[in-house]
């Protein structure tokens, strides 16, 4: 082990370019892997306000096809959302709410208007998404049903509107309509697709503003907290039955629903829903991800393999001498791979550090891209969880095996005498 480190340092000193290209190449590869894993992880790992992700199902979009050639998907209106998703067996809480947050202009007593992300949701929303209450209270079911002009706002929105005092009970404007603040919650990240927001406004069955102008479509989705241990499929079976029931009504107009595996779990939501007319296909998602990993792996592996090959060329005579003194072929291969693994690990650690730096700025970056000014980034432990680190380690290892295999095998097939006498 020590002599291997000595060897690596020696190589670094004598072939610095090859050494640095190897290490930086590995670092970049591991860094990219980490970013990809992180983006993947942040989409499914639970963190506030979506600590419930493992038990979260979201019913969103309905696909309706008609004999008249009409064929399209949309969100649901207040009534239809409840027809399909209210009171399902095995669900602890169901919230009827906007699936996507929506930008709106807000204005406090003394400042200019600015844009925030608003989300309309009923009061059950607070039982599903864990928004930390800093001041005041959440709005109540009564307020939701009455579509009261009250709001729960995030800490930094509160600060921008009112400063640090007299926030609960104070009034501000949302698109020129006055609302009264009843509660202030902690800042949260737009990486929490379903649960995040800067201003939350009550909505209920009577809130017409989320209904569109046909029988069933609107901007309402159902977020559901599944009871512990309940199989998501049993929920889907019920929803399918509700679709079928709804069909009898639609058939009058010559239309029918097309069921697409609703409601969706976090993994499906993370893969990006666009209200499409197709069923989500986690399998093809997985394939694409695998392909990305494969490319991220193969490109540096080929590069590293060439580097190692060139490092070995300078050590052919050493290999011959070692063989003369009794090093077996397998031992030689094992030694080369171990040595290379140390190099890969060094690169890997540098990549990991780059990843940490990235992780600590990533949430902010994402929020900026998403016009979500005040989002609180998910903690480092979410971005840099054990999966991400294990994944990088695994990649280091695979990268090493792929890149070292051929040079090591070639070295082991050298004829000792030719090797000993090889010119450097």
Partner 1 sequence: MSIITLNGISKVYRTKEIETTALENVNLSVDKGEFISIMGPSGCGKSTLLNIVGLLDKPTIGSVNILGEDCSRFTDNALSHFRNANLGFVFQSFHLIPSLNVAANVEMPLLYRNGVSASERKERVEKVLERLEMSHRIKHLPSQLSGGQCQRVAIARAIVGQPEIILADEPTGNLDSKMGSEVMELLHRLNREDGVTIIMVTHNEAQARETDRIVRFFDGRIIS
Kindly list the residues in this chain that would bind partner 1 in the complex (CB under 8 A).
Answer: 3, 6-7, 10-11, 14, 317-318, 320-331, 415-417, 420
Question: Closer CB to partner 1, residue 258 or residue 327?
Answer: 327
Closest contact distance (angstroms) between CB of 328 and partner 1 is 4
Taking the complex as a whole, the smallest distance from the CB of residue 4 to partner 1 amounts, in Å, to 10
Of 152, 151, 57, nearest to 99 (Cα)?
57
Quick one: residue 134, left, alpha or beta (phi over 0 = left, psi -120 to 50 = alpha)? alpha
- What is the rounded distance in angstroms from the CA atom of residue 369 to the CA atom of residue 169? 33
CB of 344 to partner 1, least distance (A): 19
Instruction: Work out the number of other CB atoms within 10 angstroms of the CB of residue 174.
Output: 19
3-state secondary structure 129-193: CCCCEEEECCCCHHHHHCCCCEEEEEHHHHHHHHCCCCCCCCEEEECCEEEEEEEEECCCCCCCC
**Closer CB to partner 1, residue 119 or residue 323?**
323
Closer CB to partner 1, 276 or 415, in the complex: 415
- Is 220 in contact with 75 (CB distance < 8 Å)? yes
Residue 167 or 311: which CB sits closer to partner 1? 311
With CA atoms as reference, report the closest residue to 63 among 75, 73, 78: 73
Q: Based on CB atoms, which residue is closest to partner 1, 248 or 330?
A: 330
SS3 112: coil
Minimum distance from residue 417 beta carbon to partner 1 (Å): 5
Q: Look at the block and give the residue holding tokens 């010119």.
A: 423
Give the nearer residue to partner 1 in terms of CB position, either 119 or 311.
Answer: 311
Smallest distance, partner 1 to C-beta of residue 11, A:
7
What is the helix (H) or strand (E) element at residue 85, kind and residue range?
helix 78-85
- Least gap, CB of 279 to partner 1 (angstroms): 57
């Amino acid at each position: 082990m020590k002599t291997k480190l000595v060897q690596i340092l020696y190589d670094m000193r004598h072939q610095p370019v090859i050494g640095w290209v190897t290490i930086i190449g590995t670092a970049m590869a591991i860094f990219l892997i980490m970013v990809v894993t992180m983006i993947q992880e942040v989409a499914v790992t639970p963190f506030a306000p979506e600590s419930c992700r493992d038990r979260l199902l979201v019913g969103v979009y309905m696909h309706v096809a008609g004999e008249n050639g009409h064929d399209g998907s949309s969100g649901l209106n207040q009534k239809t959302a409840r027809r399909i998703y209210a009171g399902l067996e095995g669900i602890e809480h169901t919230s009827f709410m906007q699936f996507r947050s929506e930008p709106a202009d807000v204005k406090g007593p003394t400042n200019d208007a600015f844009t925030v992300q608003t989300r309309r949701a009923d009061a059950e929303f607070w039982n599903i998404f864990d928004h930390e209450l800093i001041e005041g209270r959440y709005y109540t079911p009564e307020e939701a049903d009455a579509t009261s002009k009250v709001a729960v706002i995030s800490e930094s929105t509160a600060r921008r509107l009112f400063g640090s005092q007299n926030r609960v009970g104070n009034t501000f404007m949302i698109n020129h309509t006055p609302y009264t603040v009843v509660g202030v919650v902690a800042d949260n990240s737009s990486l929490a697709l379903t649960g995040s927001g800067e201003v939350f406004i009550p909505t209920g069955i009577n809130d017409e503003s989320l209904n569109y102008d046909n029988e069933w479509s609107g901007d309402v989705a159902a977020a559901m907290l599944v009871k512990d241990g309940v199989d998501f499929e049993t929920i889907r079976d019920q929803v399918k039955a509700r679709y079928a029931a709804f069909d009898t009504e639609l058939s009058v107009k010559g239309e029918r629903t097309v069921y697409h595996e609703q409601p969706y779990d976090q993994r499906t939501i993370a893969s990006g829903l666009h209200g499409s007319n197709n069923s989500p296909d986690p399998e093809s998602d997985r394939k694409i991800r695998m392909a990305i990993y494969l490319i991220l792996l193969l490109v540096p592996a080929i590069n590293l393999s060439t580097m190692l090959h060139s490092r070995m060329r300078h050590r052919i005579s050493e290999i011959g001498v070692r063989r003369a003194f009794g090093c077996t072929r397998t031992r030689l291969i094992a030694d080369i791979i171990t040595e290379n693994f140390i190099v890969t690990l060094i690169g890997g650690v540098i990549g990991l550090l780059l990843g940490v730096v990235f992780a600590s700025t990533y949430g902010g970056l994402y929020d900026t891209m998403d016009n979500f000014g005040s989002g609180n980034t998910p903690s480092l432990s979410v971005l840099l969880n054990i999966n991400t680190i294990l994944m990088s380690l695994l990649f280091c290892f695979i990268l090493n095996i792929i890149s070292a295999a051929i040079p090591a095998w070639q070295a082991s097939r050298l004829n000792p005498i030719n090797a000993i006498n090889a010119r450097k």
